[in-house]
Amino acid sequence: MTAAPTGILPAHTIEAMFADGTIFAGTPPVSGQIQPASLDLRLGHTAFRVRASFLPGEGTSVMQRLEALKLHTFDISEGAVLETGCVYIVPLQETLDLPADISATANPKSSTGRLDVFTRVITDHGVAFDTVPAGYSGPLYAEISPLTFPILVRAGSRLSQIRFRRGLSVISDADLEAVHKVHTLMSGGNERIGGGVQLSIDLEGSGPGSLVGYRAKHHSGLIDVDLPREQEPLDFWEPIYRRGAAELILDPNEFYILVSQEAVHVPPDYAAEMVPFDALVGEFRVHYAGFFDPGFGHDQAGGVGSRAVLEVRSHDVPFILEHGQTIGRLVYEKMAERPRTLYGEGIGSNYQGQALKLSKHFKSPAL
């Protein structure tokens, strides 16, 4: 008997997992919920505001911990506001019954991260966030903390995504060099490989006076997470233009949208995940939302020139970022099978071919 291929599971396998009960939900998946190498997770009908973030730990369910930590419970079926500075737990509509050789990891969706909404997936008996061990059987929960903007959510809103894998699939740097020679994984910047494809910050833009980023405004309005192209960018964001040297001082606890120098490419037989660069290079966090699906930046899927948008938050002290400074890295994994549809091929892919870009909730800025 031939062993099942290792790697990230593609969309058609995720569809089969719904069919055989490996993934269960009371309502079938909606259009666009299954992406080439991931599944969007839908909020359920009930939310709990809690005193603090938590992990249940071995031998304890999330609901058991909620009994001790919840402040109040409310219905979000028709919509409810999640306020900044608060922590919420929402049971998700999807539950899992994974076989012994399938594990999963979760991440915020790109649009979630670009709103500075910190969200993580928790399992019963979990000892790590965004991590589902092989063979897990049980419910999933989203921890949601809006950090800058209050958000309006409802049952069915999709803030998180999950990626399933069989076995070990991370590609070593040596193998990544070989893939890069064939497929050109990054171009237009430093083009370095080490712990994955290293990405650097673009603070030069197109020259003096050009737009290089956005800083979030405080005390802004409410954002409905399910309404695209609804908000005026200048109501929520302060544009940052290059003035003088190509550098930027990050103010403590401010939230920035910046962009990589490099155009990145995820070939059809691979998936990638953004992970922070070594924390010793600076006191800042980069990129809450880390999944890059097969076909991102792929020229045949309309993605030539796609760059990585970076969600950046400084901690504790001001920190100077300089143009070309390494700020993150893309770790590549092989797909168990090539997906039948790539990112950007008519499946509602909002960020194919992107440069510096806000989340899908904002109108195109007239800057």
Give, for 107, the enclosing helix (H) or strand (E).
strand 102-108
**Is residue 330 a contact partner of residue 199, using CB atoms and an 8 Å limit?**
yes
Q: How confident is the model at residue 277 (pLDDT cuts 50, 70, 90)?
A: low
Whole-number Å distance between alpha carbons of 197 and 123: 30
Whole-number Å distance between alpha carbons of 307 and 88: 32
Q: Which residues contact 272 (CB under 8 A, 6 or more apart)?
A: 196, 197, 264, 266, 291, 292, 296, 330, 331, 332, 333
User: Given this chain, do its domains 7-166 and 173-334 carry the same CATH topology?
Assistant: yes
Which pLDDT tens digit goes with each residue over 213-270?
A: 999 998 899 999 999 999 999 999 999 999 989 999 999 889 999 999 999 999 999 9
The arithmetic mean of pLDDT across residues 19-45, rounded, is 96
Percentage of residues of the chain with pLDDT beyond 90? 74
Instruction: Name the DSSP class of 16.
Output: H
Q: How confident is the model at residue 180 (pLDDT cuts 50, 70, 90)?
A: very high
Question: Which tokens in the block code for residue 161?
Answer: 């995504």
Domain range annotation of the chain: 7-166, 173-334
Q: What is the pLDDT of residue 331?
A: 94
Integer CA distances (angstroms), 135 to 21, 22, 161, 164, 339, in order: 13, 10, 19, 12, 24
Q: What is the pLDDT of residue 43?
A: 98
The arithmetic mean of pLDDT across residues 178-183, rounded, is 94
Residues shown for the chain:
367
Domain 7-166 has CATH 2.70.40.10: yes
Q: What is the pLDDT of residue 16?
A: 97
> Is 367's pLDDT higher than 90?
no
Strand partners, 211: 241
Q: What is the pLDDT of residue 3?
A: 76
> Is 27's pLDDT higher than 80?
yes
Region for residue 205 given its phi and psi (left: phi exceeds 0; alpha: psi -120 to 50; beta: otherwise): left
> Is 110's pLDDT higher than 90?
no
| Domain 173-334, second-level architecture | Distorted Sandwich (2.70)
* Other Cβ atoms closer than 10 A to 234: 15
Q: Output the pTM of the full model.
A: 0.93
Question: Which tokens in the block code for residue 56?
Answer: 């249940």
The arithmetic mean of pLDDT across residues 328-349, rounded, is 83
The arithmetic mean of pLDDT across residues 176-201, rounded, is 92
> Is 208's pLDDT higher than 60?
yes
> Is 276's pLDDT higher than 80?
no
Which pLDDT tens digit goes with each residue over 62-102?
A: 999 999 999 999 999 999 999 999 999 999 999 999 999 99
Which pLDDT tens digit goes with each residue over 130-163?
A: 999 999 999 999 999 999 999 999 999 999 999 9
> Is 279's pLDDT higher than 80?
no
